[in-house]
Amino acid sequence: MSRTPHTKTPETAPAGGKAPDPARRSDRSRRAILDAALALVGEVGYNKLTIEAIAARAGVGKQTIYRWWPSKAAVLLDASLALAGDAPTADGRTGLPDTGDLAADLKQVLRATVDEFNDPAYDAPLRALTAAGATDPELAARFTERLLAPQLALYEDRLRSARAVGQLAEGADLRLMTEMLLGPLTYRWLLRTAPLSHAFADALVDAVVATA
């Protein structure tokens, strides 16, 4: 323990002096590791992914990864959170857009989700992780708690705002509506039963908004 409460750790030190900024270097390494993990899981699948391969692809030592994450599942969870944070749907992670027009806002978000699903940079890792979670309940529980449940909550929050201003019926089941938006989209994406398009996203929103 340090007696100096303001002592900075290397990972959080601000820029200063002539040496390369350790905080920035650390951020770059962290980002390289997350990017490598996403790219690799899309290429080889979850089961064959190793910390060694992630380290090699990211250009860091294995110990750098183990310093921050205890397992490949933990790396991938943070990588997925970063991916979700990059996505236009997350909107700075403060909530879904709220222009006052519920259908328009939901269409914007669902169209962006369609674009993600159709983008190989998202599609490949998300497929690999969904496939792994389908048959690995412990992994699935972690992803549901940290990633899916907060996403579902964003939709419920937006629907709650609409209900509060009388755009949805008092008794509208917000959770059910959320699953009616995301379920069919995820179904088409994962099972490839039909092409995912903006038109499909729009039709889905109109149908779901009409239920309440």
Q: Which residues bind a second copy (CB under 8 A)?
A: 45, 47, 127-128, 130-135, 137, 140-141, 144, 148-149, 152, 173, 175-177, 179-180, 182-188, 190-194, 200, 203-204, 207-208, 210-211
Amino acid identity at 93: R
Between residues 11 and 145, which has the closer beta carbon with respect to a second copy? 145
Between residues 164 and 191, which has the closer beta carbon with respect to a second copy? 191
Q: What backbone torsions phi and psi does residue 196 show, to the nearest 5 degrees?
A: -90, 125
**The dihedral of CA 173, 152, 109, 202: what is its sign?**
negative
Whole-number minimum distance, CB 211 to a second copy, in Å? Answer: 5
**First vs last C-alpha separation in the chain:** 57
- How many beta carbons lie within 10 A of that of residue 39, not counting itself? 17
Map residue 153 onto helix, strand or coil.
helix
Whole-number minimum distance, CB 152 to a second copy, in Å? Answer: 7
**The dihedral of CA 36, 38, 43, 46: what is its sign?**
positive
Q: Is 167 exposed, middle or buried (0-12, 13-18, 19+ CB in 10 A)?
A: middle
Between residues 81 and 131, which has the closer beta carbon with respect to a second copy? 131
Between residues 65 and 133, which has the closer beta carbon with respect to a second copy? 133
Whole-number minimum distance, CB 20 to a second copy, in Å? Answer: 39
Cα–Cα distance for residue pair 129/46, rounded to 1 Å: 7
Between residues 115 and 173, which has the closer beta carbon with respect to a second copy? 173
Between residues 21 and 202, which has the closer beta carbon with respect to a second copy? 202
Whole-number minimum distance, CB 154 to a second copy, in Å? Answer: 14
Helices (H), 69-148: 72-86, 102-117, 120-135, 137-143
Whole-number minimum distance, CB 167 to a second copy, in Å? Answer: 17
Whole-number minimum distance, CB 7 to a second copy, in Å? Answer: 43
